Structure 1
Amino acid sequence: MPATTVNPTRMELTRLKGRLKTARRGHKLLKDKRDELMKQFLDVVRENRALRRRVEEALMQAHGSFTVASALMSTEMLEQSLMYPKQSVELTMDFQNVMSVNVPEYHFKTKNAEAGDVYPYGFAATSGALDDAVDALSGVFQDMLRLAEMEKTSQLLAEEIEKTRRRVNALEYVKIPQMEESIKYISMKLDENERASTIRLMKVKDMLLKDAIEEKRAEDARAIRTFGGSGEGPQEI
C-alpha cells in the first residue's frame, strides 16, 4: 500500500508517471548542481586557505613593525601621527552568479594613486618602523578584502550545497519511491479490475450460452411433443 491515499484510475496513473519522469530529471539536475557546487566550494576553500596564510603573515609583520615603532616613539607622538588619515578608499560591491548563488565581489580604489599618499605624517619626527607598519597594512588591504570575499562566498556555497543535498535526498529516498509505490499499486489495482471484468464477462457469456442451450432444448422438446401428438405417421405410396 502507498503511504498516501491515491485514486486507482488510469488518469491518476498517467499523472503519476509524468510526475515521476519530471522528478527523475530534476533529481539528475540537482545531483549535477551539487557536484559542481562542491567543486566550486573546494576551489574557494583552497584559495581561502592560501589567502588567510598570506594575510596572517602580513599582519604579523605589520604588528611587529608597530611594536618597534611604539618602542622608539612616544605614545602621544604615535597617536598624533596616525590621527588624520591622508588617503581615502572607495569600496564597491558587485555580485557574481555561481550556480544560482549570488556571491559578492568587492572592489576598492584609492583617492590618490601615488604610493606616498598612504603616509599621513611627516618623515622627520617619526620612526622608519612606523613607515614599514603603514606600508605593510597598505599592502595587505587588498588581500584582506579578497579574504572577506572568499569567506562570504564559501559560506553561501556551503548553505546552497546543504539545501541542494536535502532536496536530492528528499527526491531520492522519499518522493521518487513514494511515486513508484503508488504507480505499482495503481497498476496492480487496474490489472485486478481488468481480470475481474474479464471473469465477469466470461461468466455472463457462459450464462448466456447456457440459457441459449436450454432454450434450444426446450424448443426441440416442444417440437417433438407437437410432432408426436398429431397422430400422423409416415404414409405408404
Structure 2
Amino acid sequence: MSVFRVLIHNLNLLILILTYTIRFSVYQVLFSLPDLDLFRGQRSPSDLRKQRSSDGDLYRCYHGGSLVCFSIFDKMSSQSQRLNVVPTVTMLGVVKARLVGATRGHALLKKKSDALTVQFRQILKKIVSTKESMGEVMKTSSFALTEAKYVAGENIKHIVLENVQNASIKVRSRQENIAGVKLPKFEYFTEGETKNDLTGLARGGQQVQACRAAYVKSIEVLVELASLQTSFLTLDVAIKTTNRRVNALENVVKPRLENTITYIKGELDELEREDFFRLKKIQGYKKREIERQLASAKQFSEDQLAEKVSLQRGISVNSAHNFLSGGMQKDEDIIF
C-alpha cells in the first residue's frame, strides 16, 4: 500500500513538473513576441483583455494570475488591403483618378472578354462542322484513289510524280484582328497552270482527274480546319489572359484602391477633427487669457485708485481699499 502511495506521489510530482515546464515554455514563447510588452503585468483574475496592435488583435485570458488561454486572430494587414500612401488631398485625387482608370479598364476588358468568348464559340461550332465534313471528304478521296489505282494500275504513283514538276496548290497565311487579338488565317491558292491533264491518257485518265479533284477538296478542308484550330488555341490563351486581368482588376486592384480612398478620407476627417479641436482649445486659451488680462487691468486700476485715495486722505492702502469697497455698498439707513 505504501509503495502504491509513493508511486501516486511521484506521478503527481511528475505531472506538476511537466505542467510548470510547459507553462514556462509557453511564457517564453509568448513573451518573445514583438508586441507583448503591452500586456506584461496584466494579471487580473478572469480578465479577457483585448488590445489592438498594428499587426492584428491579441487576446489573453488570465485566471488567478495564470495564463489559461491565449489566441491571436490575425487580420490581414492594412498594407495588403490598401496602398501605402501618405493621406493627403493630392494623393486622394491621384488614387481617385487611378480608380476611374481601373474601372474603365475593367469595363473594356470585360467587353473584350465577351467578344472573344462569342468568337470562340463560333469557331468551336465551325470546327465541329468542319470535322464532320472532313470525314466524308477524306472517305471520298480514299475511294477515288482506290478507283484510280484499280483502273490505271499500281504504277499510277510513278506516272503522277513524273508529270509533276512544281506544286500548283500552295498555302499562305494572314492575320485577322478580333478585339485586339491577332488570329492567324490560312488559305490555299493555285499558282501556275496545271499540266496534268494528260496524266493517265493511256488508261484511267478520268479516274485520275476525279482523284485529283477529291484531294483538292480535302486540302481545302484541311487548310480551313488548321486555320480554325490555330485560331481556337490563340483565342483560348487570349481569353484566359483577359479573364485573369479582369479578375485581378475586380478582386484586387479596385478593392485596394477603394480601401485606400476610404483610408485617406478617414485620415483626412481625423485631421480635420484634430484641427477643429485644436482651434477650440486655442480659442478657449485666448478667451481665458483675455479674461485674465481684463482682471489684471481691473485690479491694477483699483490699486491705482486706492493709492490715490490713500494719498488724499492720508490713510493706508488697505484702509483705502476698505473705504472704496464700503463706499460702493448701499447704506440702507440713510434715506434721501
Measured against the shorter chain, the TM-score band is: 0.7 to 0.9
Rounded to whole Å, the distance in 2 between the matches of 1:47 and 1:120 is: 38
* CA-atom RMSD in angstroms: 2.5
**Unmatched 5+ stretches in structure 1:** none
| Partner in structure 2 of residue 42 of structure 1 | 121
**Unmatched 5+ stretches in structure 2:** 1-77, 313-323, 328-336
Question: After superposition, what is the alpha-carbon deviation per residue over 1:117-173, rounded to whole angstroms, capped at 9, x for unaligned?
Answer: 566721433486555433211222222222211111122222111111111111000
Rounded to whole Å, the distance in 2 between the matches of 1:28 and 1:220 is: 74
CA distance change for structure 1 residues 219 and 168 in 2, over 3 Å: closer, same or farther? same
Normalization by structure 1: what TM-score?
Answer: 0.86
Check whether the contact 1:2–1:178 (CA below 8 A) recurs between aligned residues: no
CA distance change for structure 1 residues 35 and 104 in 2, over 3 Å: closer, same or farther? same
How many angstroms does 1:176 deviate by?
Answer: 0.6
Structure 1 runs of 4+ with >6 Å offset: none
CA distance change for structure 1 residues 160 and 197 in 2, over 3 Å: closer, same or farther? same
Check whether the contact 1:89–1:111 (CA below 8 A) recurs between aligned residues: yes
How many angstroms does 1:62 deviate by?
Answer: 1.4
1:137 aligns with 2:215: yes
How many angstroms does 1:10 deviate by?
Answer: 1.3
For residue 96 of structure 1, give the secondary structure of its aligned residue in structure 2. strand
Rounded to whole Å, the distance in 1 between the matches of 2:196 and 2:305 is: 136
For residue 161 of structure 2, give the secondary structure of its aligned residue in structure 1. coil
Check whether the contact 2:200–2:208 (CA below 8 A) recurs between aligned residues: no
1:64 aligns with 2:143: yes
Rounded to whole Å, the distance in 2 between the matches of 1:216 and 1:81 is: 128
Check whether the contact 2:144–2:211 (CA below 8 A) recurs between aligned residues: yes
| Partner in structure 2 of residue 51 of structure 1 | 130
Larger radius of gyration: 2
Rounded to whole Å, the distance in 1 between the matches of 2:114 and 2:244 is: 14
Rounded to whole Å, the distance in 2 between the matches of 1:47 and 1:65 is: 26
1:103 aligns with 2:183: yes
Q: Equivalences for 1:78-97 in 2 at 5 Å?
A: 78-84=156-162, 85=164, 88-97=168-177
| Partner in structure 1 of residue 199 of structure 2 | 121
For residue 174 of structure 2, give the secondary structure of its aligned residue in structure 1. strand
CA distance change for structure 1 residues 167 and 143 in 2, over 3 Å: closer, same or farther? same
CA distance change for structure 1 residues 183 and 120 in 2, over 3 Å: closer, same or farther? farther
The one-letter amino acid of 2:203's match is A
Q: Equivalences for 1:151-230 in 2 at 5 Å?
A: 151-230=229-308
Rounded to whole Å, the distance in 2 between the matches of 1:56 and 1:195 is: 78
Rounded to whole Å, the distance in 1 between the matches of 2:99 and 2:233 is: 33
Question: After superposition, what is the alpha-carbon deviation per residue over 1:57-110, rounded to whole angstroms, capped at 9, x for unaligned?
Answer: 1012212333455566654x1321332437612433222211112222333332
CA distance change for structure 1 residues 134 and 17 in 2, over 3 Å: closer, same or farther? same
In proportion to residue count, which structure has more helix?
1
* Higher-RCO chain (CA-CA 8 Å, sequence separation at least 6): 1
Check whether the contact 1:34–1:164 (CA below 8 A) recurs between aligned residues: yes
How many angstroms does 1:43 deviate by?
Answer: 1.3
The one-letter amino acid of 1:212's match is I
